[in-house]
Amino acid sequence: MNDKTLPSTATKSDEAREATLMPPVDVVEDSAGITLYADLPGVSREALHVRVEDDTLFIEGDLALKIPEGMESNHAEVGLSRYRRVFTLSKELDADKVSAELKQGVLKLRIPKAEHAQPKRIQVSVG
Amino acid sequence: MYRTFFPRDIFSELDRLQRQLMSFDGSPSIRGLGNGSFPALNVGGTPSSVEIYAFAPGIDPASLDVSLDRGVLSISGERRSSLPGREEKITVHIDERFAGRFRRVVSLPEDIDADTMSAAYNDGVLHVSVKRRASAQPRRIAIQ
């Protein structure tokens, strides 16, 4: 009786608990911003969803393979079809200017730092 | 030697361990279980073909080497690191992605026809398909 009502009352936290693959990432920072690379093999541009909510970055994608009809799996190291990874962004990053590029299953995200957070050279005057 | 390619969240990891314990019959394959290797492999079959999927994102298809020798399929190549050199003024916060040379082998069933092997690389997944020999395919025999 009770479990019937479960799907309709599924909340955000339930969604987060769904079993997903965690794509490996590289994150590097330079003076102008952060670059993130994520491995998402099998995810097409249409199936990739990157979004920023408040200061949280969500990377989600659905894996789609060309599987011939009637194929039975003999061995699977990738046993799920959804990728998900979540990061918390820091305040000095400019979430409105995130750019994303997907190439051969690798996502490259560039998150620039907000203008006021960019390093400035301060001239030291000799008095 | 290899780093874990797709670590899962803790709940699904526990679930997977439980399933692995249930199915473990005490004799792992001579080539190992292959967990955590790059690229991750899925293998499946239909009555007429054998399908292999290698999850190898970000590789120049020209540098991928796929060969079949006496029923053993080997996939090798190199993935360059996306991390810049030391001389640049950057900080590496997370470094999880595989970089370097890789090689994985799968032994295929005996009934395959090596001449029909085809390989395609799309969205970072290498798909190798090999047909089974016609004589090995299940046939319906008409009763007279």
Residue B141 lies in a domain: no
Q: What is the pLDDT of residues A42-91, one digit of tens each?
A: 999 999 999 999 889 999 999 998 888 889 988 888 888 899 999 999 88
Among A25, A104, A113, the residue to mutate for chain B (most B Cβ within 10 A): A104
Whether B62 is in a domain gets the answer: yes
Tell me, yes or no, whether B104 lies in a domain: yes
Per-residue pLDDT reduced to its tens digit, B76-95: 999 988 777 766 788 888 88
- Which chain A positions have a beta carbon within 8 Å of B35's beta carbon? 77
The overall pTM is greater than 0.95: no
Q: Domain containing B34: what range? A: 10-133
What HEC string does A53-74 produce? ECCEEEEEEECCCCCCCCCEEE
| Interior angle at CA A48, CA B42 and CA B4, nearest 5 | 40
Q: Is residue B101 part of a domain?
A: yes
Of A84, A82, A81, A79, nearest to A16 (Cα)? A84
Tally of domains in chain B: 1
CB-CB under 8 Å, B121 with A28:
no
Q: Does A101 touch chain B (CB under 8 A)?
A: no
Q: Give the domain CATH number at B28.
A: 2.60.40.790
In a domain, B142, yes or no: no
Residues in chain B within 8 Å Cβ distance of A75: 41-43
CB A107 within 8 A of CB A100: yes
Beta carbons of B96 and A25 less than 8 Å apart: yes
Judge whether B4 lies within some domain.
Answer: no
**Structural domain includes residue B144:** no
CB pairs under 8 A between A and B: 144
Residue B138 lies in a domain: no
**Which chain A residues touch B92 with a CB distance below 8 Å?**
26-28
Domains of chain A: 20-68+75-117 (2.60.40.790)
Query: Is A106–B45 a contact, with Cβ atoms under 8 angstroms apart?
Result: no
pLDDT confidence bin for A16, thresholds 50/70/90: low
